[in-house]
Structure 1
Amino acid sequence: MPFDLPSLPYDYTALEPYIDTQTMHLHHEMHHKAYVTKLNDALKDQASDIIQVQRTAKDASPAVRNNGGGHYNHSLFWRWMAPVGTSNTAPCGLLKENIERRWGSVDAMKQKFGEAALARFGSGWAWLGVKPDGTLDIVSTANQDNPLMEGLAEVTMTPILGLDVWEHAYYLKYQNRRPEYIEKWWNVVNWDSVVQGYEEFALKGHAIPI
Structure 2
Amino acid sequence: MIKFGVFRLEGKVTIITGGASGIGASTARIFHENGAKVIIADIQDKVGQKIAHKLGEDVSYIHCDVMQEDDVAKLVDTTVHRHGKLDIMYNNAGVIDRKHGGIFDVTKFDLDKVVGVNVMDAFWGAKHATRVMIPKKNGCILFTSSATTNVAGLSTHSYASSKCAVLGARVPAKAIEILTTSWANLKGRVLKADDIAMAVLYLASDDANYVSGLNLVVDGGYSFVNPSMLN
The normalised TM-score by structure 1 is 0.29
Per chain length, whose mean CA-contact separation is higher, i.e. which structure has more relative contact order (CA < 8 Å, sep 6+)? Answer: 1
Given the two structures, how large is their TM-score scaled by the length of structure 2? 0.28
As a proportion of its length, which structure holds more strand?
A: 2
